[in-house]
Chains A and B, each alone.
Chain A
């Protein structure tokens, strides 16, 4: 009796492993997902020179205006940034969102030319030339986008380009709900 059970053991192990692999494949488990420790915490420090000549520097005060803010790290050399750009244009122009753009490891004139060509949806724009601010924000690359509520708490962190779905299902409800 117990010997027969012993023979079932390898089969059981196989079934367990197959189950795990199937779940990994079907549930869209991404072992490379970094997650974000920033969500639920106050937004990191912000102190950057303005991208556009004549603008005031980018400081923490912009994140504590009492209104929800989106912070978008981008670069003119980054193709996915190009892909998500129309969504920010829509957010800025049609939805009245306050968006802070931060050019990450991007030369000033290149970032400016990029925005001139595609349209500039940013209320304020900063320049993080050496990537130090990016590191403080837990950035892993560009584009990344943070949604910050009126009290300066990070509520969402998107790694990679935002999509139409992110916009409709997360960002717009957040902008409407957060005070």
Chain B
């Protein structure tokens, strides 16, 4: 019949009790050795900032013993969208539901599912919204083909304009009028 979605975007985040909706944790190396003057410690800070990356939210307790399965879980986890944090993958999110989803992915893998089966499992529960890469179907045709189509149209228009200009340049010049011929003869002193 119908679903939700009548609540405005401003309130959408307020009522959601996700317990720790995903902020990236940033890791910066600490405890640098004291050496040199102020300038070198500034350099260290800069270096530390340069090499700090958002840490994965995957918790040690979630990691599978089998490194092959764990690697597959990471591949899948990075393609699945955390449903309460808009544009974070479940591997990047510290939200409660993302934790559940990571665990479910690993449970499915341990049960012998293929990657596609795990994606299907999630889509059956959360819909296409859960896929960070939208599937190719009628509803997403404009999304997938819009940009290439525009490129083709623009390229075609440019090509046509260029060809028209070329044709104009190549066209045989008009014959000289009598007046022009007289002036030309005079110049050439014939």
- Interface residues in chain A, defined as those with a beta carbon under 8 Å from any beta carbon in chain B: 28-37, 39-40, 44, 75, 77-81, 83, 105, 130-132, 134-142, 155-161, 170
Report B117-128 CB contacts with A as 1/0, cut-off 8 Å: 000000111110
Q: Which residues of chain A are near B9, meaning CB under 8 Å?
A: 28-32
Whether A32 pairs with B12 at a CB distance below 8 angstroms is yes
Smallest Cβ distance from A132 to chain B, in angstroms?
Answer: 7
Q: Which residues of chain B are near A75, meaning CB under 8 Å?
A: 17
- The CA-CA distance from A77 to B96 in the complex, in Å, is 13
Whether B84 pairs with A140 at a CB distance below 8 angstroms is yes
Whether A39 pairs with B12 at a CB distance below 8 angstroms is no
Smallest Cβ distance from A64 to chain B, in angstroms?
Answer: 19
Whether A37 pairs with B127 at a CB distance below 8 angstroms is yes
Report B77-94 CB contacts with A as 1/0, cut-off 8 Å: 000000110100000000
Smallest Cβ distance from A43 to chain B, in angstroms?
Answer: 13
Asked whether A37 and B17 contact (CB < 8 A) given A135-B100, A158-B4, the answer is: no
- Interface residues in chain B, defined as those with a beta carbon under 8 Å from any beta carbon in chain A: 1-9, 12-13, 15-19, 83-84, 86, 96-97, 100-101, 104, 123-127, 129
Whether A160 pairs with B7 at a CB distance below 8 angstroms is yes
9 examples of A-B residue contacts, CB within 8 angstroms: A28-B6, A32-B9, A33-B4, A35-B127, A36-B4, A134-B100, A135-B100, A138-B127, A140-B16
Asked whether A156 and B3 contact (CB < 8 A) given A28-B8, A131-B100, A140-B83, the answer is: yes
Asked whether A132 and B100 contact (CB < 8 A) given A36-B3, A156-B1, the answer is: yes
- The CA-CA distance from A163 to B126 in the complex, in Å, is 23
Asked whether A39 and B5 contact (CB < 8 A) given A80-B15, A141-B18, the answer is: no
- The CA-CA distance from A30 to B15 in the complex, in Å, is 15
Whether B100 pairs with A161 at a CB distance below 8 angstroms is no
Q: Which residues of chain B are near A137, meaning CB under 8 Å?
A: 125
Smallest Cβ distance from A107 to chain B, in angstroms?
Answer: 14
Q: Which residues of chain B are near A33, meaning CB under 8 Å?
A: 4-5, 12
Main DSSP-derived SS at the B contact region = loop
- The CA-CA distance from A60 to B83 in the complex, in Å, is 26
Smallest Cβ distance from B185 to chain A, in angstroms?
Answer: 39
Asked whether A139 and B127 contact (CB < 8 A) given A30-B9, A156-B3, A160-B4, the answer is: no
Asked whether A35 and B17 contact (CB < 8 A) given A30-B7, A131-B96, the answer is: no
Whether B125 pairs with A161 at a CB distance below 8 angstroms is no
Whether B127 pairs with A141 at a CB distance below 8 angstroms is no
Asked whether A34 and B125 contact (CB < 8 A) given A105-B96, A139-B97, the answer is: no
Whether B17 pairs with A135 at a CB distance below 8 angstroms is no
- The CA-CA distance from A95 to B8 in the complex, in Å, is 29
Smallest Cβ distance from B157 to chain A, in angstroms?
Answer: 10
Smallest Cβ distance from B102 to chain A, in angstroms?
Answer: 11
